[in-house]
Amino acid sequence: MSELKPWLDLIMQRRGRLWVGAMLLALTLFSAIGLLALSGWFITATGVTALLWAAGQRVMFDVYMPGGGIRFFALTRTVARYFERVFNHNTVLSLLADMRGRHFAALAALDGATLSRLRAAQWLNRLTADIDTLDTLYLRLLAPPLVALLGIVLVCGLIALFHLSLALLLGALLLALLLLLTLGMARLGVHYSARRVEQLDGLRVQAIEHLQGMAELKAAGTLGVHRQQLLAGSQQMLDQQLALQGRIALGQAVTTLGVMGAVMVGLFGAIQAYLTGLLSGPVMVMIPLALMALTEGLAGLPAAFAQYGGTRAAARRLNQQTAMSSSLVEPDQPAAIPTELDLHWQDIGVEYAGLRGLNLTLAHGERLALIGPSGCGKSTLASLVARLIDPDSGQMRVGDASLRELSLTQWRTRVGYLTQQTELLHDSVAANLLLANPAATDAELWRVLEMVDLADLVAALPAGINTWVGESGKQFSGGEGRRLALARVLLKDAPLVLLDEPFSGLDAATRQKVNARLEPWLAGRTALFLGHDAAQLPQADRVLAVADL
């Protein structure tokens, strides 16, 4: 249960909405109980009255009050069910957004070395599937059993008004059934649901890697083997799902048998009470029908609690991730950031990039171009400057201060970094730009778009800068997306600029046009350019090959 506590604490931040949703659930169940119980009483009372009239007795019977009650319960149940579905599903979506926000915030604080402990597909699965699994916490594991308990109390309390001993017996039976459908089903399905979550995680990772590496697998002649492994894993997961569904079916059968058993006990008890004159005929019929209405509150519990093990497994994995801490430690008393941004790579060693004993200097206001083939360590040198990673040995210095001595957050506000990979969010052009400067005006957005020669293209879009770029910027070509990412760096207006292949995907004419517009903006800034060929980069004061460092 401890695995769920952090997420329960997060959920309870919206306790007001949770109580409203639970009350709507309770109102729906109570209306169902009232509708069935009152209908049974009314039909029986009507029949008894008709028999008395047929026997020549004069009796008064008010059909309007119970008839109005039946209409009230029927209408209340329909309306409450509708608003409960809308309100609670909106609440669950809000809770999932809260969970994803919290989890993503924890991941965003991690450095590249820590993030590399898991594959990208695993991070994605945690952020999507594992958090989706936690939607059972409120809508299936918290509110429904509470509402079912209240329903049992209501029905047994109603019966107690007419027959106390029968109500106590039925209450004991129904509470035992509730425990069996919650704790019993959780224990029965814990292994299978937890195993299914683990298998789903591995299967998704395997499927993503299969699609991403299809060309390499085919070239190596192992595509068929990998496909068979994927199918075998899928079949194992289906087998686990089938086993879990068998237990859920068993729980649903127990629900039906348990409720019907309580109905039979209530019916026979009511008949005995009727024969002894303790109960009237209409009340005798009302009791089993009120018990039957509890099916609505109990029916969903087996499927929900059978997934309890999977919910705990997902929460455990998420807790492990949020407990990760970055290896980039913030200093307790950060030094002041120098005004002169002289960068010094001193005896730098980064094992995974193959860098050892590297020394390099970039003077304040200088433009340096580092060229070399892919994998030679160019991007690693830029990551050291942005302090996305720390070196395994040596120091990254700014003036006389080590980069480790500076506030990480404040330092990154001084750095504008265009990474090798174009990162665009599934949002509008404006929203993607405003990531760099949330306070920027529309005029400033259009200015940077003009600098990268995108202003005319964006102006022709249906909604201008409010047009969505699509997932990963798919509405734009590779070169257009690259220029949009470059415009975001320009909007940040940082004194230190890192541009990793800034003109990737651009034709010669566009590259020359954008390069010319960058020149005045780069004046006075400290800049590091990375690429394969100096001719494909902005004008630099120095050009160095990484292999010569």
Q: What's the confidence (pLDDT) of residue 443?
A: 92
DSSP 8-state code for residue 417: E
Residue 52 has pLDDT above 80, yes or no: no
Predicted pLDDT of residue 41: 87
Residue 295: predicted pLDDT? 92
Ranges of H-type helices in 323-465: 378-385, 408-413, 429-434, 442-451, 455-459
Q: Which domains does the chain have, with CATH numbers?
A: 2-322 (1.20.1560.10), 343-548 (3.40.50.300)
Query: Which position has the higher pLDDT, 187 or 117?
Result: 187
Burial of 242 per CB tally in 10 Å (0-12, 13-18, 19+): exposed
pLDDT of residue 475: 80
Q: From CA 175, how far away is CA 181, in angstroms rounded?
A: 10
In sequence order, the 6+-apart residues with CB closer than 8 A to the CB of 257 are none
The mean pLDDT value for 58-64 works out to 76
Give me 20's structure tokens.
């409203």
For 112-121, 162-171, 485-494, which range has the lowest pLDDT when averaged over its residues? 112-121
pLDDT on residue 191: 86
- Residue 443 tokens, joined: 């005029």
The tens digit of pLDDT for each residue in 178-218 reads 999 999 998 988 888 888 888 887 888 888 878 878 888 88
Three-class SS of residue 500?
strand
Q: What was the pLDDT predicted at 268?
A: 94
The confidence band for 172, taking pLDDT boundaries of 50, 70 and 90, is: very high
Residues 370-374: what's their mean pLDDT? Answer: 89
The pLDDT of residue 1 is: 65
Cβ contact 306:189 at 8 Å: yes
Q: pLDDT band at 177, cuts 50/70/90?
A: very high
The DSSP output letter for 466 is G
What single-letter amino acid sits at 335? A
Q: Is 59 or 153 the better-scoring residue by pLDDT?
A: 153
Q: Taking the CA atoms of the chain, what radius of gyration do you get in angstroms?
A: 34
pLDDT number for residue 263: 93
Query: Tokens representing 154?
Result: 């209501």
The per-residue pLDDT of the chain, averaged, comes to: 87
What pTM did the predictor assign? 0.72
**How far, in Å, are 233, 237, 309 from residue 242 at the CA level?**
14, 9, 16
Portion of the chain with pLDDT greater than 70, in percent: 99
* pLDDT one-digit tens code per residue, 242-301: 988 999 999 999 999 999 999 999 999 999 999 988 988 889 999 999 999 999 899 999
